[in-house]
Amino acid sequence: MNQEKTIITFHNLEIGYTDNTLSNPINLSLQEGELVALMGLNGTGKTTLFKTILKEQLPLAGEIRFKGKNLALRDLQHSIGVVYTERTHIFGFTVRDMVAMGRMPHTNRFGKLTEKDNAIIDSYISQLELYKIENKQIDNLSDGQFQKVMIARALAQETPVILLDEPTAFLDVKNKLIIYNLLKKLAKEQNKTILVSTHHIEFCNDYCDKALLLKDKKIVEKSAIEIKSPDFD
């Protein structure tokens, strides 16, 4: 492990609820430039881990360090982008408006977008093939289109860490491949650390650098190609 490239460290971390501990102490780390699959059956704690990283939920024990430091809540939006699976109801905004919201942590106090901001927005609209619907109202989108917009917004935030909770749940094969290839490219070319909660073993095997498997209240780190169907029996 290269300590200089370690970006997130879990130290004796326990997650869950007072009446339901979902993990034994977790001690592992994520490195810069890694695309990591977070895998496990429903209810094993994948989303809970995300919420704990984002300080939406307190750990039962232990701590999470970001580049060796305890990240302050106010710094999260500059450090970690996130997309959850569930769809939220949003009215009065276009696709472009939503992607542009990813730039909010970087704008001035008036929220004015710069030429650079607009270039970043245009880039992710193009890479996720949203240009044909960029002026469409967000509440008129299909679930799959909405999911792609939320991913584009998180990517436009340009954080060093991105958390994606089942990002391709509503997408067809073509759009899944667009997302998979883009995530791989961002990890390798922009050195981003991307943690993806997923049930897709093929994505893990073919695209990811490693896997974190949640099972029996433990998180086990494995090589991505080691993950097989029996791991979920």
For residue 87, which amino acid is it?
R
Q: β-pairing, 218-223 with 61-66?
A: unpaired
Q: Is 126 strand, coil or helix?
A: helix
For residue range 209-230, list pLDDT tens digits in order.
999 999 999 999 999 999 988 7
- Domain of residue 53: give its range: 3-232
Q: Is 152:145 a contact under the CB 8 Å cutoff?
A: no
Mean pLDDT of the chain: 91
Least confident of 30-39, 107-116, 146-155, 181-190: 107-116
Q: What is the pLDDT of residue 2?
A: 58
Q: What is the CATH number of the domain that holds 203?
A: 3.40.50.300
The DSSP string of 133-192 is GTTSBGGGS-HHHHHHHHHHHHHHT--SEEEEESTTTT--HHHHHHHHHHHHHHHHHS--
Q: What is the pLDDT of residue 221?
A: 93
Specify the pTM: 0.92
Distance (Å, rounded) from C-alpha 87 to C-alpha 84? Answer: 8
Q: How many domains does the chain have?
A: 1
Q: Is 232 strand, coil or helix?
A: helix
Q: Is 160:192 a contact under the CB 8 Å cutoff?
A: yes
Q: Dihedral sign, CA of 44, 10, 72, 182? A: negative
Q: Is 73 strand, coil or helix?
A: helix
pLDDT band for position 3 (cuts 50, 70, 90): low
Q: Is 36:196 a contact under the CB 8 Å cutoff?
A: yes
Average pLDDT over residues 141-170: 92
